[in-house]
Chains A and B, each alone.
Chain A
């Protein structure tokens, strides 16, 4: 059985189904992170004082640069497919995967340092919300890496049989990845700088 509208746009929505599905998923993700940002505001406004300077701004800045760079390599991976250059696509997607891995390694060292100093999520409200927000974001990075690994491995086969559908899949993977970058763009100043 053929699943319809994986390549051609549905007449009523003007979009292929995968794309509209991912946008709806991202809308639900906005609400998920929105609830946590809302909790952050509630906790911060209700606290008599809020700690400042507990996190490494240098490490946070490096991770911001890594994620922004990974967003560019991701969009270039899609653009390369549109320009029919599969070799470049693999190069850019691999670069995105590696950058995501470096982000998580940095996060691991950051968590390790804080945990060694006794600054776990149990320490205070600040660390509780810090681990919740960055932990959930880290899980999203991990999820994105699983999808990218699939498209670098077994998922590649689709390029030979249906290149347009493969391109659409990379496009919606990119939408998810840019959203993960977008969340970090707000997390960085909120947790590290303010």
Chain B
């Protein structure tokens, strides 16, 4: 965090640069969505650009590029839990409690027509 007014004056230029970059990335995101890529490609492109924009906001506007170690530690812990949280939906796909193999196979074994 800058505390010297002269240093703050210098960093104002980087705020303007980041502002322009964020605008350009916003235009690229919207333009890319017009190309109708396959869904996985479109998601990847949009999330990469969003991550780059987010990093600029956090790094420059929130001054994370030069912060105290304690904040990095707290955020690292948050990122770990955030990733776990995002993977929870995948765990639900592996959850087969109450849907045994016998129940799934039953219609075919009994010669029934699956609905």
Per the bound structure, the CA–CA distance linking A193 and B77 in Å amounts to: 30
Residue ID in chain B nearest A52 by CB atoms: B39
Are B46 and A14 neighbours in the complex by a CB distance under 8 Å?
Answer: no
Are B85 and A27 neighbours in the complex by a CB distance under 8 Å?
Answer: no
Are B74 and A189 neighbours in the complex by a CB distance under 8 Å?
Answer: no
Are B75 and A27 neighbours in the complex by a CB distance under 8 Å?
Answer: yes
Residue ID in chain B nearest A72 by CB atoms: B19
Q: Which residues of A contact B46 (CB under 8 A)?
A: 189-190, 193-194
Q: Is A57 an interface residue (CB 8 A)?
A: yes
Residue ID in chain B nearest A60 by CB atoms: B30
Per the bound structure, the CA–CA distance linking A71 and B18 in Å amounts to: 11
Are A34 and B9 neighbours in the complex by a CB distance under 8 Å?
Answer: no
Q: Is A102 an interface residue (CB 8 A)?
A: no
Interface residues on chain A, size class: 35 or more
The B-contacting residues of A in range 176-194, CB under 8 angstroms, are: 178-179, 181-182, 185-186, 188-190, 193-194
Q: A95 to chain B: closest CB distance in Å? A: 13
Q: B39's contact among A71, A75, A179, A194, by CB below 8 Å, is which?
A: A194
Per the bound structure, the CA–CA distance linking A20 and B70 in Å amounts to: 9
Q: Is B92 an interface residue (CB 8 A)?
A: yes
Q: B25 to chain A: closest CB distance in Å? A: 9
Are A69 and B61 neighbours in the complex by a CB distance under 8 Å?
Answer: no
Are B92 and A193 neighbours in the complex by a CB distance under 8 Å?
Answer: no
Provided the pairs A79-B15, A82-B3, A194-B39 are in contact, do residues A182 and B54 lie with their beta carbons within 8 angstroms? yes
Q: Which residues of B contact A14 (CB under 8 A)?
A: 68-70
Stretch at the interface among A36-44, A103-111, A116-124, A152-160: A36-44
**Main SS of the interface on chain A?**
helix
Are A186 and B74 neighbours in the complex by a CB distance under 8 Å?
Answer: no
Q: Which residues of A contact B57 (CB under 8 A)?
A: 71, 178, 181-182, 185
Are B86 and A65 neighbours in the complex by a CB distance under 8 Å?
Answer: no
Provided the pairs A23-B71, A61-B30 are in contact, do residues A175 and B89 lie with their beta carbons within 8 angstroms? no
The B-contacting residues of A in range 1-53, CB under 8 angstroms, are: 13-15, 20, 23-24, 27, 30-31, 34-35, 37-38, 41-42, 45
Q: Which residues of A contact B (CB under 8 A)?
A: 13-15, 20, 23-24, 27, 30-31, 34-35, 37-38, 41-42, 45, 57, 61, 64-65, 68-69, 71-72, 74-76, 79, 82-84, 171, 174-175, 178-179, 181-182, 185-186, 188-190, 193-194
Q: Which residues of B contact A (CB under 8 A)?
A: 1-3, 5, 8-9, 11-12, 15-16, 18-19, 22-23, 26, 29-30, 33, 39, 42-43, 46-47, 49-50, 53-54, 57-58, 61-62, 68-71, 74-75, 77-78, 81-82, 85-86, 88-89, 92-93
Sampled A-B contacts (8; CB under 8 Å): A23-B71, A24-B74, A31-B85, A34-B82, A57-B33, A178-B57, A189-B49, A194-B46
6 smallest beta-carbon distances between A and B, as pairs: A189-B46, A42-B89, A193-B33, A82-B8, A27-B78, A14-B68
